Structure 1
Amino acid sequence: MASIAHNVEHVLDRMVSFYSQRLRQVDVQKYFLLGKELGKGGYGRVILANDKKTGQRMALKFIDKSRNSQESYLREFSIASLLSSHPNIIGCFEVFFKTTFNLVFAQELAPVGDLFSLIIPHVGIPEDAVKRCAVQISNALEFIAEKGLVHMDLKPENILVFDKECHFIKITDFGFAKVRGTVIRSMCGSKYYMAPEMCAMTISGGLVVDGSIDVWAFGVIIYCLLTGKSPWRLASLDDDGYKRFVEWQNNVKMNNPPEAWRKIPTKIQRMFNGLLAIDYSKRSPSTKVLKYIRGSWKEEPVDSAKRKEGEDPIEMNSSEQSEDSLASHLSTSQSSSVSITSTLNSMSSSLLTRNTSGSQSKISPEAEVDIG
């Protein structure tokens, strides 16, 4: 394991060095027609763009120079490029440059948007779509782990959607990604999805980065997709929802779940208790979900409830907690023995059929932007 981490660190260092020599300042208006803003955060923003020469549509990520170093920008681009060969990780164009105020790189465009936008409050998304998402995210996380990396900020906003039924989704945004084994001394990512070991981290002690951090976030995401709610605000005993979950998990009988978990079928509760094990050393791999695909994940069918205009996609479970929406908080924060491939092949086509016509992990040379 240590050698894998060492090797990927070496590869990333070489990639950063290579890209730094090719990084040039350009006039973005000269080469691109810029469209609407697709998203923004503490790093900067993502904008729809058309290459004037080829007509290729893409998403340009503008990273504010005043808030991010060139080194971190190149490292993010290198990690994205390294992982983009996977069908469930966003494709990365070989287009990167700097402007007067920004560092920029291009990625493929997801036509539907992000997974967060599909969640109906208190409802979630259809069960079959949840299962499709779970399998694809698990697939991508296994690949990321094999490369010796940890995403560190897995959340619905960082999962892009290519069709509304979620046959085809991709993980994006590797700005917080770390090599496994790295020691961090401050929290990173979005608090709703942070693992308890990160929430309890001290600056002096730090935390050794491990793939189980991504698995925890994965478990929370599945819960949100199933219910349209977040199980807690923060994985800390100061949070009532989380405290009740810990008490339940520590009860070996597991026959009296907190109210927030009572509509989850008993068998699927076991899946969650693996993915969301408090002790990270006992946490299941992401591939745990593959054992549960054929069973029911919801006790009640999804109704046809429509989101009210302006209503936030996910709301809190506990009435004792703040009425502040998850969306507002997020806007201010910044190997299993089961083969996934064989499992996917054995599943029914109605559940896992994908439209892979939109898949593109690398863009052909003729589609690259000529900035020379």
Structure 2
Amino acid sequence: MGLGQSSKSPVTGDTDEVNFDHFQILRAIGKGSFGKVCIVQKKDSKKMFAMKYMNKLKCVERNEVRNVLKELQIMRNLEHPFLVNIWYSFQDEEDMFMVVDLLLGGDLRYHLQHNVHFSDGTVKLYVCELASALGYLRSKRIIHRDIKPDNILLDEHGHVHLTDFNIAAIVKDDLKATTIAGTKPYMAPELFEIFEGSHPGYSFAVDWWSLGVTAYELLRGQRPYVMRSSTPANEILHTFRKVHLSFPPSWSSYIKSLLRKLLCIDVHKRVSCLSELQDLDCMSDVSWDAVLGKAVLPGFIPNKRRLNCDPTFELEEMILESKPLHKKKKRLARKSRDQGSDGSPQNGHLQQRLDNVQRDFIIFNREKSTKAAVDPDSTEVSKCSEKKAKEDGQNNNVEPASFSSG
């Protein structure tokens, strides 16, 4: 059962901005600290996307607006085969929207929870694909800071895509980041040293540690170090310094060698860039051009006959959500008739903050940006652009009938 759709016909003029009415809302598939996610279909092109929407009032009340706007600012300047790329962003008086690639294979946390066994070869390919993404992010001076199975999505062919840039950091030149951010069990040792006041900061190497923790967890079903989000920083540092990293004897030598390089306590000896990973003996058999071109087939292919997510997201949106997305149009129309009063008048300071969100939000349209970058007088360039757009959107051309829950 889908979420329904807006009944207004989309405006098709090239000068009009993409908005909520251009999409058919199909079903809810996820939620996080910064919003909810549903599957949508663009009415004119019939392409499928994931649409993330964030309530403005909630974001203001929780002081999350800055991170939302920062994520949008970062994502609109990124485009890579192993990232979840943004296509559109827009807003209305209630919500901020980000329309991104639809990945139907589910996230790696979902598959871990369903006891999927990932082979050495599959995890090695994941590391290569994610390392390619990290190399690209480094070229953009971006530290992701939250690499973990929850933020790695699979496409229908089993390739990985990194998502969730709401706590990412941009560092200039050779400067380091100093703000503590991340998910504790995946955070690198140098991040915890900042709590002791003994470290000037950190850089791109923290993402490679997180990649190592993730790879270990995919192989073993548990992380290399036992810690929780509530574990104090001094205890975590003690664990890193005293607990010896162990591997099951059945693991291949190349996987153990790879993980030792990623999970190196000494940041100066840790693999922390793509070229260093490529130079490892255990990576000598990798064709990096084939990896980047998605020509290497993953060992695990998600089930295409089901939607790889928790089906309760749909029920929560339909039954428990006080302002469900599929009733947005009627709700806003009623609010307009009531002259802007929804029964909960804002105080002056709160309204000012909401007005600031309206002002600062960035409208984005990747299709329009791509068209603007192409010389209309060059037929060859136009053909190349069309071919690239088709390849970039290949995960979005999926018939709605293929969705099933359970």
User: TM-score with structure 1 length normalisation?
Assistant: 0.63
Task: Look at both structures and tell me which one has the larger radius of gyration over its CA atoms.
Answer: 2
Cα distance in structure 1, aligned partners of 2:141 and 2:287:
19
- 8 A Cα contact 1:179 1:209, kept in partner: no
What corresponds to 1:146 in structure 2? 139
Deviations 1:304-342 (A, max 9, x none): xxxxxxxxxxxxxxxxxxxxxxxxxxxxxxxxxx99438
Structural mapping, 1:221-232, within 5 Å: 221-232=214-225
Cα distance in structure 2, aligned partners of 1:191 and 1:269:
23
Change (3 A) 1:237 1:103: same
What corresponds to 1:270 in structure 2? 257
Cα distance in structure 2, aligned partners of 1:37 and 1:25:
21
- 8 A Cα contact 2:129 2:291, kept in partner: no
Cα distance in structure 2, aligned partners of 1:361 and 1:210:
32
Q: Indicate the RMSD between aligned Cα atoms, in angstroms.
A: 4.1
What corresponds to 1:81 in structure 2? 76
Structural mapping, 1:209-224, within 5 Å: 209-224=202-217
- 8 A Cα contact 1:97 1:104, kept in partner: yes
Deviations 1:182-219 (A, max 9, x none): 66555322222111122332397786341101011011
- 8 A Cα contact 2:205 2:270, kept in partner: yes
User: Cα offset for 1:100?
Assistant: 2.7
Change (3 A) 1:358 1:141: farther
- 8 A Cα contact 2:142 2:171, kept in partner: yes
What corresponds to 1:322 in structure 2? none
User: Cα offset for 1:72?
Assistant: 3.6
What corresponds to 2:48 in structure 1? 57
The one of 161, 175, 179 equivalent to 1:170 is 161
Deviations 1:244-300 (A, max 9, x none): x64466xxxxxxx64x554444553332222112122221125455432479xxxxx
Cα distance in structure 1, aligned partners of 2:394 and 2:77:
10
Change (3 A) 1:115 1:351: closer
Matched, 1:195 2:188: yes
- 8 A Cα contact 2:144 2:169, kept in partner: yes
Matched, 1:280 2:277: no
Change (3 A) 1:361 1:289: farther
User: Cα offset for 1:132?
Assistant: 1.6
Change (3 A) 1:174 1:344: closer
What one-letter code is carried by the residue in structure 2 that aligns with 1:174?
F
Cα distance in structure 2, aligned partners of 1:122 and 1:112:
15
Change (3 A) 1:361 1:191: farther
Cα distance in structure 1, aligned partners of 2:297 and 2:48:
30
Matched, 1:135 2:135: no
Deviations 1:31-86 (A, max 9, x none): 322232222111111111122333221111112323255554333123112222x1
Cα distance in structure 2, aligned partners of 1:127 and 1:120:
19
Matched, 1:43 2:37: no
What corresponds to 2:305 in structure 1? none
- 8 A Cα contact 2:142 2:170, kept in partner: yes
What corresponds to 2:10 in structure 1? none
- 8 A Cα contact 1:152 1:188, kept in partner: yes
Cα distance in structure 2, aligned partners of 1:280 and 1:97:
40
Unaligned segments of structure 2, at least 5 residues? 1-14, 302-387, 397-406
User: Cα offset for 1:161?
Assistant: 0.5
The one of 341, 344, 347 equivalent to 2:289 is 341
- 8 A Cα contact 2:34 2:64, kept in partner: no
What corresponds to 2:392 in structure 1? 360
Cα distance in structure 2, aligned partners of 1:363 and 1:132:
19
SS at match of 2:268: helix
User: TM-score with structure 2 length normalisation?
Assistant: 0.58
Change (3 A) 1:34 1:78: same
